Amino acid sequence: MKNLSISILNVKNVSEFLDELSRNIEVIKSNKKREILDTSIHFDVMDNKFVPNTGVELENMKCVKEHGYYFDAHFMVDKPVEDGYIDKAIEYGCTDITIHYEIENLDNAIDYLLKKKKELNGNLRIGICIKPTTDINVLKKYKNKIDKILVMSVEPGFGGQKFIPSTIDKLEILRKEYKDKFIQVDGGVNSDNFRLNVNSGVDSAVVGAYITSDTSKMLDNLVLLNVIRNIEELPKEASEEFESKILQIKPDGYGNGDILLKIRVPTLRKLEKMWYNVISKDALKFIISSNIHDYRRFAVFCLADMVNSKNSNEIKMFIDENIEYINNWDLVDSCAPICIGKQLLNKSDNEIYSVLSEYTKSSKIWTKRIGIVSLLYIAKANRKEAVFKVLDDVFFEEFHLYQKATGWVLRELYKVNPKDTLEYLIEKKKIKKIPNILKSYATERMSIEEKNKLK
């Protein structure tokens, strides 16, 4: 997808809205490496006959042009030629005009637009729009006369309607059959269906109420749409077989139900670095709650970077509120150590235990693992008493991912305090056989002599 065309159908003060839009776009463009959608303005022009509404006044095109935005006109009118709509739009500088297939004098209107295009030396994009119930095959007759196809994903006339899912099938077919045409979708487009529209192959999506209904959320929503588009258009180069195996994405695995886009981790991290400092918690909430694993990875990568620039308590609160979605080992390990553990270094041993035991005493797999791996920075800082106190609660857990995490923490502690780490393990051995996986990770840096003491 190349373009986001914002419908101003429900905008009361066009100039003020465009000022706010421009400010938000500049914020997004502050990182020059971000690839964002071209933003234009969409005019829903109505005559209260073809549809029972009056739409946007054409005079507003002057204001949009003064603000430097490209704009396109969608005429939901019975007589675009006879009633002067086309001439007036061209007079105001519009070079992108779409009329409805369903009007009576369509052929005459198309011929008139072709005439105007010739007069403008080709500088006019001619489009035909079809309603949701109109068969897409009717467009074949006009294939050599039009430049653009606009597909309505709601019944035309009013903003704020719900997107019709079957529209996606139409868009995919049209993309294959009309490779050289500019294809646009209009109606009910928002974050819930945006990835489907991106992947359908459309060139442009018209977004109305999602952007215009609440200007205080405009930046958040613009960022989210651009992030979705960026993620979806990343190269799909990872091995699905390998990722599915290590993440247990299979019917009887703990990752069951996840969808993989096959985006390599370094690629996703590079994208996240461009967006984490402008993406909102509301947008992250949407991303982290997705059943697409790559989306949740993106979210936890953002959290790990955000913790250094935002209130760490807010990040921890966000994690706690959305802990059900941090539900695989890679997601836990990417955010818990830095977002929770590292932020506890200035706390007492008892305070560290109080916080982390809330996780380790949970019956939920990934919540418990969060409590364990959060010890990594604490272990590296040689806070042995805090480490031992937390690990005492989970040391003999049988689940292999708990054992790996516990061994991992002890390995880090051993690097800075080999004597006490070995003694801790010897004491545990006296109680019960140390789990093999745990021991393997914990003793990875030990000498043969030290390992023999644990046999």
Q: Which residues are catalytic?
A: 44, 186
Q: 419: which residues sit within 8 A by CB, 6+ positions away?
A: none
| Cβ atoms of 241 and 20 closer than 8 Å | no
- Dihedral through CA 300, CA 188, CA 55, CA 140, nearest 10? 120
Q: 168: which residues sit within 8 A by CB, 6+ positions away?
A: 193, 196, 197, 200
**Angle (CA) 303 308 312, round 5°:** 70
| Cβ atoms of 198 and 247 closer than 8 Å | no
- Concatenated DSSP letters for 308-335? TTS-HHHHHHHHHHTGGG--SHHHHHHH
Q: How far apart are alpha carbons 77 and 283 in whole angstroms?
A: 37
Burial label for 222, CB within 10 Å (0-12, 13-18, 19+), is buried
Tokens linked to 274: 């461009």
- Concatenated DSSP letters for 180-235? TSEEEEESS--TTTHHHHHHHT-SEEEE-HHHHS-GGGHHHHHHHHHHHHHHHTS-
SS3 label, residue 22: helix
Buried b / exposed e over 102-121, threshold 16 CB at 10 Å, is bbeebeebbebbeebbeeee
What's the gap between Cα 210 and its chain centre? 15
| Cβ atoms of 149 and 178 closer than 8 Å | yes
Tokens linked to 8: 């101003």
What's the gap between Cα 28 and its chain centre? 15
Closest to 149 measured CA to CA, from 176, 123, 111: 176
| Cβ atoms of 208 and 6 closer than 8 Å | yes
Q: How far apart are alpha carbons 367 and 300 in whole angstroms?
A: 15
| Cβ atoms of 185 and 195 closer than 8 Å | no
